[in-house]
Chains A and B, each alone.
Chain A
Amino acid sequence: MIDIKGILGPLSALKFLGKAPHTIDYPKETKKTADRYRGIHYNDVEACIGCGSCGTICENDAIDMVNVGFDPNKADTGFRPVVDYGRCCWCALCVDVCPSGSLSLTKDYVYVDDDPKKFLYVPGLQELGKVNIDSTDDLKELAKIEKENRPKLKEGERSWYQKDRTEGLLEFNRVPMKELPGSTRIKSFAEVVLGYTEEEAFMESIRCLGCGLCISACPDRMHIPDYIQAITERDYNSSANIIYENNPLPEMCGKVCTRQCETACVYHNRGDAVAIRWLKRFTTEQFDDFRTIINAEVKPLNGKKVGIIGAGPAGLTVGYYLRLRGYDVTIYEALSKAGGMTMAGIPKYRFPLDSLDKQISYMEEMGVRIHYNTRVGKDIMFDEIMDTYDAVFIGIGFHDPYDLGLKGEKEAKSGVISAVELLRRVNFGEKVDVGKKVAVIGGGNVAIDGARVSKRLGNVDVTILYRRRVQDMPADWEEIEGAEDEGVHIVPQAIPEEIMLDKNGKVTGIKYVMAEMVDDGKGGRPRPKKIEGSEKILPIDTLVGAIGQQADYSFLPDEYLFKTQDDEKSGSKKGIDTFWGRILVHGYNETTMKKVFSGGDMVNRTADAISAIADGLNAVKGIDLFLQGGKETKVNHSVTESDLDKNKLLDKHYKMKHENGKLVSVKLDLSGNIVTESVKIAKDPDELKKDVEKKEVNKSTDKANSKDKTMSYPTKNTNGETKKEEKKSKSKKKSKKKKKKK
């Protein structure tokens, strides 16, 4: 049989007749080249984050990183690649590995120079003749011009332009984490997240490029790439040791950390960040007991004693690392267990008890002494601590819930409970009866925890009432989803008005009114405004309040509180200074009072466990300096105006004062004179945080606006462009100006 197909087959190529060829130019164009041409990389300097992956992978060592001079944002090193075209072999590995997708290669020659010795170019900036930039605005503008002026690719023509490519060397999807299904979860307090297997952890760990940008976002500056690298080498022992270098509660962080590091991961913008938290969790889960594997050196006692108030993450960190440095440490803890809010607040389905016990018992073995059930101010006086110890650390956290301020709250005899109290009682194994219907007020993580715990207390209907929209909730998105999965009902834009009570003072319902979101008129986030006549009553058995907490400073006697100038004139010592309920600290977490240091929730604004640990570590350095530094101590126990500014203060200043046995705050001006008397700090801390953030944003835009925005191109041709090129770039500028005028 004659194979007709074999004869006709080649004719099918005729269908390409008349189509533009992909491989050759027709009619043939010879490429125009200049005398000294170099350069085949493009870099979108705005998208580039300076991670250095290009230079690390280059098999020819053709890339260095240079500081181009501007002040970078978080998750940007401020460096940009400079390519040595005497070495580049055009292999495009650098493009394939570029996680931001900013780098690309072309077959055009981008840079031209008369000087045969010039080989080094900063792609993305050198084309524009400007390798030093002043600000991120500048950077943005330059990146825009550069992109606009790239030669356009012909149809069908490909370059190593990576932005939308998913193939290549990078894996943008994270290894998913297995969880219990929602319906199973609510039946018990069993841990929801199941953890990675060895293989899953390996697959996730090899995604890490090792650039270390995440470190800049971690309050505690953990050595993230190093411990992930150890996982890829399956050396879990070193991984755990690296983690323990600056985190004594790694398993807790591995389970519940707020993981700010992941937002700075190079993958974050184009895919899933490396699961840094889960990897840390994986490492710590490989060991039942840390004693055998952590080879921390415990120095012999040096004779100095440090007293610590509160065994939360902050206090424990101070205790552990000071003990390693040879200090005799004693922690006073009001509760019967250590861990602070991570013990008393965080629900056990997120952070199980045995996991906490494992970490605390390791610390105690290392010589950290903890006196449980000892409340300072009641079981032992603050004076005594000040007299006994060479330095004192205060880390008492925020345990005092805000009142809801609702009608009926004071009269209620039963059925109203704060989320922190509910969580504490449940976590300490008490039986709590919340009835069959629960409403939770608040929109933060504590509110969600309160709701999800209530859900687990039996067949309970749980509703969250929140003033604003769901997308405004300060709680983590995962937590909100988790709650919804478990059947928690969320009612947004609901403002509670009154607690309904029966004649015995027992809660029967909550009256709330629906709100519409209105523009606040100042460009801020919309505010809820009550809709008249939309009142509703939700019948409930228990109302859980979760609108924020504050510190309980009642253990501090008056003489240790900050003095106004008048007091100082009269000769009394300067005490511990606070602002909006937070203790003011300096560089090493020293307070305004000599030998007193402080950290954790009642100092920082991020109010999470890792920030408390970071505060603790910082205080360890400060206490060490203070007690060993002799006269040369760098620790500075006073407040200056610039410190106040650093602490992100608004324009006024508060102080704590005892009044009728209760601590209240008093408004002061910067020199410490009382402005107004007696205001209780009752502002929702979320609101406060937002206010401060807003202030900062305004400040930075003000700053940017005030800066001269005109960009300076070198007037003299310093980068040695040919005449023709120079003209071209001039005309670029002109056309830009025109555009601006329009």
Chain B
Amino acid sequence: MGFSKLTETKVLLKQYFKDIISIEEGGEQRLIIDLQSKDITSMINHLKDFMDFKHLSMISCVDWPEENKFEIVYILTSYSKNIVLMLKTKIDRKNPKLQSIMSLWPQAVTYEIELNEMFGVFFEGNDRMGEEFILEDWDDIPPMRRDFDSLEYANKNFKFRDERKDKKIIREFISEHYDEWRKK
């Protein structure tokens, strides 16, 4: 009995990339790989060219202000192996830069522009960096950063309707009427 494809992929990756931080199974036919940011491009290259991970499902980002990091997440799929990989790497939040992978998958451009707009992550080598994605004339910090206060933004930019002029904070409003409704 040979190894399963999953174990095989795990072992191979560990051999090639000695600096992998962790690699673990994240469900059926899924691997979650934590990498250093310097390895990310070579790993993705290797995965696409030699290990048949031909499909880029998406690129995403998680904000960790407590650690001062952004975590960039790539999801790749191999149809022949029937395996989904989640590659994660943390980069400095103050100077968030990473190499673009548009030369491998042209559609990566869109994801990268989106992350640039929503988090302010800069992808070097992406010639469309800085283009507007969905926000027009945005003049605040990137809105998906956790220190962006959407409520404050909404209240700064949008008026309350006349009926709601004396809008109260809900919890306070409820506790104000508290005794009234609990009396019975």
Contacts and interface: CB of A to CB of B under 8 A. Distances in A.
B18 interface: no
B181 A78 contact: yes
A55 B170 contact: yes
Contacts of A59: 150-151, 154
Given A6-B79, A6-B80, A56-B170, A67 B177 contact: yes
Interface stretch (B92-100, B126-134, B156-164): B156-164
B71 to A, nearest CB: 20
Interface in B140-174: 150-151, 154-155, 158, 160-161, 163-164, 167-168, 170-171, 173-174
A78 B170 CA distance: 14
B170 A65 contact: yes
B174 to A, nearest CB: 5
Nearest to A12: B79
B161 A84 contact: yes
Contacts of B80: 3, 5-6, 9
A60 B151 contact: yes
Interface in A673-702: none
A84 B163 CA distance: 10
Contact of B170 (A9, A52, A74): A52
Contact of B154 (A51, A87, A120): A87
A51 B174 CA distance: 8
Interface in A6-39: 6, 9
B161 A77 contact: no
Interface string A51-73: 11001100111011101000110
A59 B152 CA distance: 8
A61 B151 contact: yes
A296 B155 CA distance: 39
B4 interface: no
Q: Interface residue tally of chain A, by bracket?
A: 20 to 34
B163 to A, nearest CB: 6
A3 B78 CA distance: 13
Nearest to B182: A216
B42 interface: no
A622 interface: no
By secondary structure, the B interface counts as helix
Interface stretch (A185-193, A207-215, A538-546): A207-215
A50 B181 CA distance: 12
A79 B170 CA distance: 11
B178 interface: yes
Contact of A61 (B167, B177, B178): B167
B155 A61 contact: yes
B170 A60 contact: no
Contacts of A56: 170-171
A210 B184 contact: no
A71 B184 contact: yes
A60 B150 contact: yes
B15 interface: no
B174 A65 contact: yes
A86 interface: yes
A119 B163 CA distance: 10
Contact of B178 (A9, A67, A216): A216
A65 B178 CA distance: 13
A63 B79 contact: no
A551 to B, nearest CB: 28
Interface in B74-132: 79-80
B52 to A, nearest CB: 8
A5 B79 contact: yes
Interface in B34-78: 52, 54
Nearest to B181: A78
Given A5-B79, A210-B171, A84 B150 contact: no
A72 B180 CA distance: 11
Contacts of B171: 52, 56, 210-212
Interface in A281-309: none
Contacts of B163: 120
A63 B161 contact: no
Contacts of A79: 174, 177
Most chain B beta-carbon neighbours within 10 Å: one of A60, A61, A120, A211: A61
A605 B150 CA distance: 49
B161 A86 contact: yes
Interface of A: 3, 5-6, 9, 50-52, 55-56, 59-61, 63-65, 67, 71-72, 74, 77-79, 84, 86-87, 119-120, 210-212, 215-216
7 contacts: A56-B171, A59-B151, A60-B150, A61-B160, A65-B174, A119-B161, A120-B161
Interface of B: 52, 54, 79-80, 150-151, 154-155, 158, 160-161, 163-164, 167-168, 170-171, 173-175, 177-178, 181-182, 184
Given A50-B174, A87-B154, A211-B174, 14 more contacts: A3-B52, A51-B174, A52-B171, A59-B151, A59-B154, A61-B151, A64-B173, A67-B177, A78-B181, A84-B161, A86-B158, A120-B161, A216-B181, A216-B182
Rank and list the top 7 A-B pairs by shortest CB-CB distance, nearest first: A59-B150, A55-B170, A216-B182, A52-B170, A9-B79, A60-B154, A5-B80
